[in-house]
Amino acid sequence: MSNVKPLRIFMTGVGGQGTLTATTLLAKAALLRGLPVTSGEIHGMAQRGGVVESTLLIGLKSPKIGPGEADILLGFEPLESLRALTYLRRDGLVFSSSEAIPPLSVATGQHACPDLDAVRARIAEWTGKAWYIPCQTIGIQAGAAQSGNIALLGAAAEGGAFPFGPDALEEAIKADMKPKIAEINLKALELGRKAVA
């Protein structure tokens, strides 16, 4: 393990976006390349659209990521990207969806929330290395909105965020999913790659 460069990835989204599926696929892709992986997850009200967080660490034994420690932040929802920003080290990488899923209190007009421009501005104060892609739209183009999570993985892989390429993710998808679902997710992966190419 000492020869592997440590990498800390923090992922966040809301229930139903496939945050944990993305974590599992990313872990399997790393394992396919012989990398030691540790992961953890936190989810409570995920089935009601609550926050879902997960961590994936390569070359490290603990699944925990403290404030300012993550090398990469994958945000499947822009407000969640903003909320989790403090876990990212200064000048770390951010790959985020550009499409919001408003919390219930915002959807019902009880509270306001920052728009994407405000989210981008705040993240830009933290790091100049941020990319935004329309995950839900890409997922729908691929065949299922839920595959937007894989599109974000594709964008990050294309951006060189991981110590392996998109081919490892392709292998993990083919090995882990039924053929029809895999086909949709492989298309989402490709569209996500093109979104940042």
Average pLDDT, the chain: 92
Question: What pLDDT, on a 0 to 100 scale, did the predictor assign at position 63?
Answer: 86
State percent of the chain over pLDDT 70.
95
Banded pLDDT at 34 (limits 50, 70, 90): very high
Question: What pLDDT, on a 0 to 100 scale, did the predictor assign at position 168?
Answer: 96
For residue range 88-120, what is the model confidence (pLDDT) as tens digits? Answer: 999 999 999 999 887 777 778 888 888 999 999
- CB contact at 8 A, 75 and 94: yes
Number of H helices, E strands in the chain: 8, 6
Q: Calculate mean pLDDT across residues 49-68.
A: 90
Residue listed under structure tokens 């219930």: 104
Question: What pLDDT, on a 0 to 100 scale, did the predictor assign at position 48?
Answer: 61
Provide the H-helix boundaries in 33-165: 78-83, 104-107, 116-126, 135-142, 148-158
Question: What pLDDT, on a 0 to 100 scale, did the predictor assign at position 112?
Answer: 83
CA distance 84 to 78: 10
Which amino acid, one-letter code, is at 16?
Answer: G
CA distance 90 to 93: 9
What is the DSSP pairing of strand 130-133 with strand 88-97?
parallel
Question: What pLDDT, on a 0 to 100 scale, did the predictor assign at position 47?
Answer: 59
Banded pLDDT at 12 (limits 50, 70, 90): very high
DSSP string, 153-164: HHHHHHTT-SSS
Residue 85 has pLDDT above 90, yes or no: yes
CA distance 126 to 130: 10
Q: Calculate mean pLDDT across residues 143-163.
A: 96
- CB contact at 8 A, 91 and 128: yes
- CB contact at 8 A, 148 and 139: yes
The region of weakest confidence among 20-29, 44-53, 111-120, 172-181 is 44-53
